[in-house]
Amino acid sequence: MVRIFTSCDDGRMVERASRIELYLLRHADAGDSAAWDRPDAERPLSPKGHRQAERMGRHLAAIGLEPDAIITSPKVRAVETAAAVGQSLGRAVSEDARLGEAFDLQDVTAILGGLDDARRVILVGHDPDFSDILAALVGAVAIPMRKGALARVDVVPPIEPGGGVLRWLLPPDAIPGG
């Protein structure tokens, strides 16, 4: 574990939390919501979405990503996205209802705070929340995330607006393997 120290106004050095690699994964394509006649939370991935999620999982495995946690919204399309990625990475997936509702930086802080020593965390969820959170973390006006996109933001708790560093934003069509 990396230990980071910062100085106080009185000159003392105090330990502060280590950097966390936060991955925001917007669920893959789920087709047209207007054509879905059942509860929205039950809307699954489309065939295109399944391909996107599987491709993302293979890509993350190929680059050697080893997340400490994969946490998903309980909505079916997010669960299916997380499951495909988790399977490729050999990691279990857990659900958190907060990711399926209106979601903000306080919720990110609460979720990360509940994970002991996790340094790489993938959250799987929805828009507009993920685009808004990504923008808030890096101090931008807007950063739109397409369905199936993955962003890596490095953060050091406590999580504050503008306190993150965007390392990359990967849209689903940038990953080879059709």
Whether 57 contacts 85, CB under 8 Å: yes
- Is 91 contained in some domain? yes
Residue with structure tokens 């394509």?
A: 29
Instruction: Give the residue numbers spanning the domain of 61.
Output: 20-174
- The answer to the question of residue 85 being in a domain is yes
pLDDT, tens digit (0-9, with 9 covering 90-100), for 27-36: 999 988 888 8
10 lies in some domain: no
Tell me the mean pLDDT in the region 156-160.
Answer: 90
Output the pLDDT for position 157.
87
Is 23 in contact with 68 (CB distance < 8 Å)? no
- For the chain, the domain total comes to 1
Which stretches of the chain are assigned E, i.e. beta strand? 4-7, 13-16, 20-26, 69-72, 94-95, 120-125, 150-155, 165-170
Residue 46 has pLDDT above 70, yes or no: yes
Whether 126 is in a domain gets the answer yes
Residue 13 in any domain: the answer is: no
Residue 81 lies in a domain: yes
For the stretch 107-118, pLDDT in tens is 999 999 999 889
Say how many C-beta atoms besides its own lie within 10 A of residue 93's C-beta: 20
Q: Would you say residue 4 lies in a domain?
A: no
Q: Report the CATH number that the domain containing residue 106 is assigned in CATH.
A: 3.40.50.1240
9 located within any domain? no
